[in-house]
Amino acid sequence: MRQRGRVRVERVSTTRRATIPATSYPVERLTLDNGLRVVLTPDRSAPVIGVAVVYDVGIRSEPEGRTGFAHLFEHLMFQGSENLEKLAHFRHVQGAGGTFNGSTHLDYTDYYETLPANALERALFLEADRMRGPRLTEENLRNQVDVVKEEIRVNVLNRPYGGFPWLTLPPVLFDTFPNAHDGYGSFTDLESATVADAADFFQHYYASGNAVLAVSGDIDVAEAVELVERHFGDVPARPAPVRPSFAEPDLAAERRVSYTDRLAPLPAVASAWRVPDPIGDFAGYLPYAVLAEVLTDGDAARLVERLVQRDRSVTSVGGYLGFMGDPFDVRDPTALLLQAHLPPDGDVDKVLQTVDEELDRLATDGLTDGELARTQARMATHLLRDTDAVLGRALRMAVLEQQRGEPGLLNDLPRLVGEVTEESVRAAAATLRPQRRATIEVLAGAEQ
């Protein structure tokens, strides 16, 4: 079924809760003979489209001795393909008035473009071409190893708090290589990567059966289906590899590690607690998403009011689900994180103790009148705002299809968040005990 024109908006009202609106972007799903799954979500409100291809492989799948390889490989997917020279991809996207990028996550890698709608067929051609096979050459590999090293210097080595906490906390919380290792990679591992490694990685993980294509925006569904068939239909069929379990047991005792950051002028701390399986136990997981916001979203949030305003024991505090801030794009195992920056004489022990106190108070006394409803209303705004961009919709729906077979969940999230009960948020808070906590502490190493 398809709908035209303006996206219909439903307003769902429940007693004692804010009125949470929802979108109803239409969703079409199909699977090609080669196993490629396709999601189409038309919206003709602006003459632009988003195109995303998501492969079910990420940082957790890279082999030992090859840290950073999933990300390095992402770079190689831009270096030319079956019918395209190096640089051609960039030029064809931008020369059509579009922008592009790719990013590597724990459980997936995405490639995407957003363009004026008249470039739909071109974008499909470009994505299909590299799905058939990137040009993996020694020269391109060496060039991109250099580029990735500069990326790591910019984002980690040459700045204060580089990699904090997304690279520095996982090895405290987790024990197994897939979950604990540095996803940006060591320079040694990056330098020892070979073209043969890349060819194997592509052969194994970049299979049509392991990918999802999503197209959003100003498209006619029938025409888009035809174009998708035309360009992707003859991509050779390869099945998805079996995805291993990355499960690990929860912590039995508190863990705490500290390190000195020679560029950091002030101390900082981050803690993580394991949360329920985001896919297998979505109902158990959602209250943690709400809890993170109750604790830290805005000046009226509990930990902000207490730690920043009242105690002045931190200068900023944030809370979120997932090491990459990706609550609905990640599989088990994952975590709720709290992170804070401290003033010069800051006391990390005291901060952690206050967090425990506030969690206790929340679990014991519950929420104040209206606290849950206003948090849910604000979350709805954030969720809706993210879906306004066509590309945001294509990306989120592609991942929801890949991990859950449920791209339409994007429409339902504001409502589902709005249905989370006070009781379940209290129960979630009660599980964040010190003995289940992994903490990383940054000691200031820079002169002030």
* Nearer residue to other proteins within complex by CB, 6 or 242: 6
Phi first, then psi, for residue 136 (nearest 5°) are -95, 105
Block residue for tokens 């925006």: 217
- Please say which residue, 19 or 258, places its beta carbon nearer to other proteins: 19
C-beta of 418: minimal distance to other proteins in Å?
11
Smallest CA-to-CA distance from 293 within 303, 283, 285 is with 303
Whichever of 43 and 189 has its CB closer to other proteins, that residue is: 43
Of the pair 61, 376, the CB lying nearest other proteins is at 376
Query: How many whole angstroms separate alpha carbon 80 and alpha carbon 140?
Result: 9
- CA dist 145 and 147 (Å) reads 5
Detail the DSSP E strand segments found in 24-64. Answer: 28-31, 37-42, 48-55
How many C-alpha atoms does 105 have within 13 Å on its Cβ side? Answer: 22
Residue whose structure tokens are 């709805």:
380
Residue among 112 and 273 whose Cβ is closer to other proteins: 112
Q: Would you say 5 or 244 has its CB closer to other proteins?
A: 5
- Tokens 């009660």 belong to 430
C-alpha torsion sign, points 331, 334, 340, 341: negative
Q: What's phi and psi for 381, nearest 5 deg? A: -60, -50
What residues contact residue 393 under an 8 Å CB cut-off, 6+ apart?
A: 25, 41, 43, 50, 214, 216, 217, 387, 410
